[in-house]
Structure 1
């Protein structure tokens, strides 16, 4: 099973877990404050508290570990 990536819900500060292999897009929604959005397919979007750069780094590390078997 792929390793899940831990992020923080901006609404209540609770942890949310994401399977990096299922992520299609990561972007910043320019609200106040700006939100980082992780998209799965066309119908499911998840907002997280982490910055765009931090989110992409976490997902990249998880995918690298999965492809190298680590």
Structure 2
């Protein structure tokens, strides 16, 4: 099982942890400022403060068995 990835909540700055095995989509919502959204299936979306590139990188490293960067 991949390790949990630590991200930051954009609302309050607290850490949120994501199981990369459950992620189905990652995209950037073009608001002001742009938000990175992690989707789990079609019913649950989570916004994170990290950039799209950093989010995808962390999730990719975790599923490849490498320790995620913090």
Same topology, TM > 0.5: yes
Question: Is the partner of 1:65 in helix, strand or coil?
Answer: coil
Which residue of 2 is the match for residue 23 of structure 1? 23
Does the residue aligned with 2:50 lie in a helix, a strand or coil?
coil
Q: Secondary structure at the match of 1:53?
A: helix
Q: How many residues align?
A: 66
Largest Rg, 1 or 2: 1
CA distance in 2, matches of 1:3, 1:26: 18
Superposed CA RMSD: 1.1
Distance 2:26 2:2 in 1: 19
Tell me which residue corresponds to 2:54: 54
Query: Counterparts of 1:32 and 1:2 in 2: how far apart (Å)?
Result: 32
Superposition deviation, residue 2 in structure 1: 3.3
TM-score (norm 1): 0.91
TM-score, with normalisation over the residues of structure 2? 0.91
Match of 2:5 in 1: 5
Give 4+ residue runs of structure 1 displaced > 6 Å after superposition. none
- Which structure has more helix as a fraction of its residues? 1
